[in-house]
Amino acid sequence: MSLPKPDNQTTTVVITGASSGIGAELARGLARRGFPLLLVARRRARLDELANEVGEDYSVGVEVLPLDLSDPRSRGKLAERLRSDPIAGLCNSAGFGTSGLFHTLPLERESEEVTLNSLVLMELTHAALPGMVERGAGAVLNIASIAGFQPLPYMAVYSATKAFVQTFSEAVHEELHGTGVSVTCLCPGPVPTEWAEIASAERFSIPVAQVSPRDVAEAAIGGMLAGKRSVVPGVVPKAVSMSGRFAPRSVLLPALRIGQRLRGGPSS
């Protein structure tokens, strides 16, 4: 057992980063299946708009909680909800990326990236799991990336945070064997979202590898329902993930560096 069948009392799914992209599509997909939702993001207006949409379209209960999870007090508030409420699912979708030469990027922004992509995800997972294990059912979805399968020049911090998410999620999933609780690691390839624009990451993506946010979310929800350890949506991203895991670093990293420069990436 992993994500239990929906009801209106004990199967709420919490989604961070719910105001756009994959997070918003997770909300739509879970609401379509009948799950009540707690939506978390910084932008209240976006959350309200999404809550009204899915509440009306699918007749599920939706609560919004506008929080900046990079702030310790804000994420502490959410962690307390995860500990005290009978939460059935947690989707850690909040995060962002940066691109460029690492030593030229603002350190404060890089540190915030590590916090939101890795530390916040770890803290919220830690808060949610005890109750799920006690109830014998529940599912956590952690958003990684195929970027985490190998070091990625010019997106050094982003790929490092996603490698952490993969390793952490798969290890905890194995620890939970036999409890009825799962941790699924979602590793999408390039997804056309607001995140890619913010990170200036379009030049690093391969158009043929792109998968829509809705298709990524549907694959993720399927993985949660099935209690899978990991999900890589799309044929091309699966192939890329295999090369990242098994290609020699001495060949892979220069190829990535040269390829990204040819696509308009920075030069030292």
Contact (CB, 8 A) for 155 and 201:
yes
Chain centroid to CA 148: 12
How many CB atoms are located within 10 Å of the residue 252 CB? 17
Instruction: Report the alpha-carbon distance of residue 120 to residue 141 in Å, rounded.
Output: 13
Q: Which of 35, 149, 154, 158 is catalytic?
A: 158
For residue 87, list its beta bridge partners. Answer: 12
Active-site residue, 58 included: no
Tell me if 24 sits within 8 A of 202, measured CB to CB. Answer: no
CA angle 42, 32, 147 (to 5 degrees): 55
Nearest Cα residue to 192 out of 172, 177, 206: 206
Cα 62 to Cα 54: distance, rounded to the nearest angstrom: 8
Q: Which residues are catalytic?
A: 158
